[in-house]
């Protein structure tokens, strides 16, 4: 009987020891929770870093996409101009083929009035054949456009779109893309005015075929006031060259301002 009691006591002691080994102390549980929180924080920081990297790549992709859209618009405009030139050349060729031959072989380069024969040219007036056609009148090329609504904090490499085209002689300016495509070669003058709200700044560049040829800085970051900056550039363009205004740097809260009394505008004309 005593042996059974001793055995039972020993079994109870072993059971308690096993149970105590399975139950963790509050200190150990707190340490485990802290370790879990640390692991989760590290994963969150890693995910935030990856998210920032993806946002940066997306910004670059958007800038590249904007440049490609500008190039597509320029190519489409060049294609339209080439088609117009082909139509004009075909029309001129057709008119030349329809001209009657009224040249007297004995007076090479001389046209006889009323198809006169050599026998009655005594009392006829000989008209000289004009081999060079008169120069065609030069069509004016000029545009003036402005923004009808503000641009809230545009990103870098953002093409400014002046959506109201008040003047567009020669149809070189596209109010949907903000790009001017030269309909003919020559010297052109471009001028622009950019208004910025208080505590904002923008670097604005004049671009010719994605090359910087002019620029301005609108800056009110240190002043509680509006800013208006203008610039002018004279550029020699080839037929089909594209010109636009583009942001190249910006600050926080940079806001391009538009007002009925302060136009943000873009204009140009051929000399």
pLDDT bucket at 109, cuts 50 / 70 / 90 = very low
Q: Look up tokens 């009655």; give the residue.
A: 120
Over residues 29-45, the pLDDT tens digits come to 888 888 888 888 888 88
On the question of pLDDT at 116 being above 50, the answer is no
Residues of the chain with CATH 2.60.120.40: 137-270
Among 186, 106, 105, residue whose Cα is nearest residue 142: 186
245: left (phi over 0), alpha (psi -120 to 50) or beta: beta
As a whole number of angstroms, the distance between CA 133 and CA 153 comes to 54
Q: Nearest 5°: phi and psi at 156?
A: -65, 150
- The tens digit of pLDDT for each residue in 210-236 reads 899 999 887 777 667 787 889 999 999
Q: Are 130 and 223 in contact (CB under 8 A)?
A: no
| pLDDT above 90 coverage of the chain, percent | 29
Region 18-22 average pLDDT: 56
DSSP state, 88? Answer: H
**20-34, 191-205, 208-222: least confidently modelled range:** 20-34
Q: What are phi and psi of 198, to 5 degrees?
A: -60, 145
Tokens read off for 101: 């031959």
pLDDT at 24: 67
pTM above 0.75, yes or no: no
Looking at the structure, give the CATH architecture of the domain made up of residues 137-270: Sandwich (2.60)
* pLDDT surpasses 60 at 255: yes
- Could you tell me if 70 and 246 are in contact, meaning their C-beta atoms sit under 8 angstroms apart? no
Token pair recorded at residue 61: 């992709």
Q: Say if residues 184 and 239 touch (Cβ distance below 8 Å).
A: yes
Sign of the C-alpha dihedral computed for residues 151, 157, 161 and 167 taken in this order = positive
């Amino acid at each position: 009987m005593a042996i059974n009691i001793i055995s039972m006591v020993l079994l109870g002691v072993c059971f308690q020891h096993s149970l105590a080994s399975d139950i963790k102390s509050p200190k150990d549980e707190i340490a485990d929770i802290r370790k879990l929180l640390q692991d989760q924080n590290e994963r969150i920081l890693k995910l935030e870093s990856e998210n920032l990297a993806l946002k940066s790549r997306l910004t670059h992709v958007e800038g590249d996409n904007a440049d490609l859209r500008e190039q597509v618009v320029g190519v489409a405009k060049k294609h339209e101009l080439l088609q117009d030139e082909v139509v004009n050349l075909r029309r001129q060729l057709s008119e030349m083929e329809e001209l009657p031959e009224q040249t007297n072989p004995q007076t090479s380069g001389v046209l006889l009035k009323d198809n006169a024969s050599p026998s009655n040219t005594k009392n006829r007036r000989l008209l000289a054949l004009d081999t060079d056609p008169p120069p065609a009148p030069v069509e004016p090329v000029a545009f003036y456009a402005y923004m009808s609504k503000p641009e809230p904090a545009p990103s870098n490499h953002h093409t400014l779109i002046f959506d109201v085209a008040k003047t567009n002689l020669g149809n070189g300016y596209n109010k949907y893309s903000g790009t001017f495509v030269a309909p003919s070669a020559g010297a052109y003058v471009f001028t622009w005015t950019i208004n910025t709200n208080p505590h904002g700044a923008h670097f604005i560049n004049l671009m010719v075929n994605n090359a910087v040829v002019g620029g301005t800085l609108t800056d009110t970051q240190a002043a509680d006031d509006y800013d208006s900056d203008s610039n002018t550039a004279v550029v020699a363009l080839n037929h089909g060259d594209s010109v636009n205004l583009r942001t190249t740097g910006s600050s926080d809260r940079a806001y391009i301002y538009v007002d009925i009394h302060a136009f943000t505008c873009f204009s140009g004309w051929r000399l």
